[in-house]
């Protein structure tokens, strides 16, 4: 009887681990700061996920109700993990979009290369800002904040809860927040570069033989980097990190 009880207890623990993995693993696979170029080895990444599940075990160690079926519970946990991952990725995507906007405005998208963090093609400034924001994230206690959000996700949406009241329209609101935030962060630099473009056009009108537009990339790049240095890194370390919370995730349910 003891062996049967131990086996049933072990089976129950494995099911709890599997459902916790279904929610948390998606977050770790989608976060740009923990992408393939940062944690390239799947064994290392899954080991970290397993250790985090063990550390957060008191948050989801309650007895489960299998009336819905284990497969349905796993699907629900995967959906919740996907929504949580999208919510937590918004700050990183905002910084990436900021770099894309600035490079597009200064005409430097021709130098697109492979992002060393995500492993996908992106502009030079976009990859740099993504890497810099990752460093800011870790230096600001981002992993501790991530653990708090994961624990709070089980308080906001416990396992086995119904998805009937799930507000799918909030995905569109997240896209609006992403676009609005990146444009607001890039706005000062974009305005200054637009003024520089107008002045170059006026100068070309009166001195066409000098062809000032041949220097537009150099001039706008110098202006963009100078203006961005005054506010950029401070703004990037404040505005996007404020979005890295459980509040946006709660909007899917309340």
Task: Pull the structure tokens for residue 242.
Answer: 């404020």
* CA–CA gap between residue 91 and residue 142 (Å, rounded): 12
Determine the distance from the C-alpha atom of residue 35 to the mean position of all C-alpha atoms in its chain, rounded to a whole number: 10
Beta-bridge partner residues of 113: 122
CA triple 75-76-80, angle to 5 deg: 120
Instruction: Decide: 105 and 191 in contact? Cβ < 8 Å.
Output: no
Q: How many domains does the chain have?
A: 1
| H-helix segments, 106-169 | 124-139, 142-156
How sure is the predictor about 209, in pLDDT bands with cuts at 50, 70 and 90? confident
Contact predicate 250/173, CB 8 Å: no
User: What range defines the domain where residue 232 resides?
Assistant: 2-250
Please tell me the predicted confidence (pLDDT) of residue 69: 72
pLDDT at 36: 64
Q: Quick: pLDDT tens for 9-67.
A: 777 778 888 888 888 888 888 888 877 666 667 777 888 888 888 888 877 766 566 66
Q: Where are the alpha helices (DSSP H) in 31-141?
A: 42-55, 70-105, 124-139
Percent over 90 (pLDDT), the chain: 0
Residue 110 confidence (pLDDT): 61
Q: How far is CA 227 from CA 190, 215, 223, 251, in A?
A: 10, 18, 6, 35
The average confidence (pLDDT) of the chain is 79
Residue 64 DSSP one-character state: P
248 vs 192: which has the higher pLDDT: 192
114-168 residue pLDDT tens:
555 555 566 778 878 888 888 888 888 888 888 888 888 888 887 767 776 677 7
- Calculate mean pLDDT across residues 210-215: 72
How far apart, in whole angstroms, are the C-alpha atoms of residue 80 and residue 246? 13
pLDDT of 252 > 70? The answer is no
Where is pLDDT greater, at 71 or 90?
Answer: 90
């Amino acid at each position: 009887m003891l062996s049967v009880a131990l086996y049933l207890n072990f089976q129950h623990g494995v099911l709890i681990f599997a459902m916790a993995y279904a929610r948390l693993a998606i977050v770790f696979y989608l976060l740009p700061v923990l992408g393939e170029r940062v944690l390239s080895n799947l064994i290392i990444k899954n080991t970290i996920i397993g250790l985090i599940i063990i550390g957060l075990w008191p948050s989801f160690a309650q007895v489960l109700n299998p009336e819905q079926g284990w497969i349905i519970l796993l699907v629900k946990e995967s959906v919740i993990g996907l929504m949580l991952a999208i919510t937590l990725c918004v700050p990183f995507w905002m910084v990436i979009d900021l770099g894309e906007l600035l490079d597009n405005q200064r005409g430097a998208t021709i130098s697109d290369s492979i992002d060393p963090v995500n492993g996908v093609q992106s502009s030079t400034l976009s990859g740099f800002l993504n890497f810099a924001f990752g460093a800011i994230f870790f230096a600001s206690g981002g992993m501790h904040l991530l653990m708090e959000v994961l624990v709070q996700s089980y308080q906001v949406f416990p396992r086995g809860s119904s998805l009937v009241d799930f507000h799918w329209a909030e995905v569109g609101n997240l896209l609006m927040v992403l676009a609005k935030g990146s444009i607001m962060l890039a706005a000062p630099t974009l305005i200054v570069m637009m003024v520089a473009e107008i002045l170059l056009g006026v100068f070309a009108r009166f001195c066409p033989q000098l062809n000032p537009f041949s220097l537009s990339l150099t001039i706008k790049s110098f202006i963009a980097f100078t203006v961005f240095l005054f506010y950029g890194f401070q703004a990037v370390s404040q505005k996007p990190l404020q979005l890295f919370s459980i509040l946006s995730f709660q909007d899917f349910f309340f």
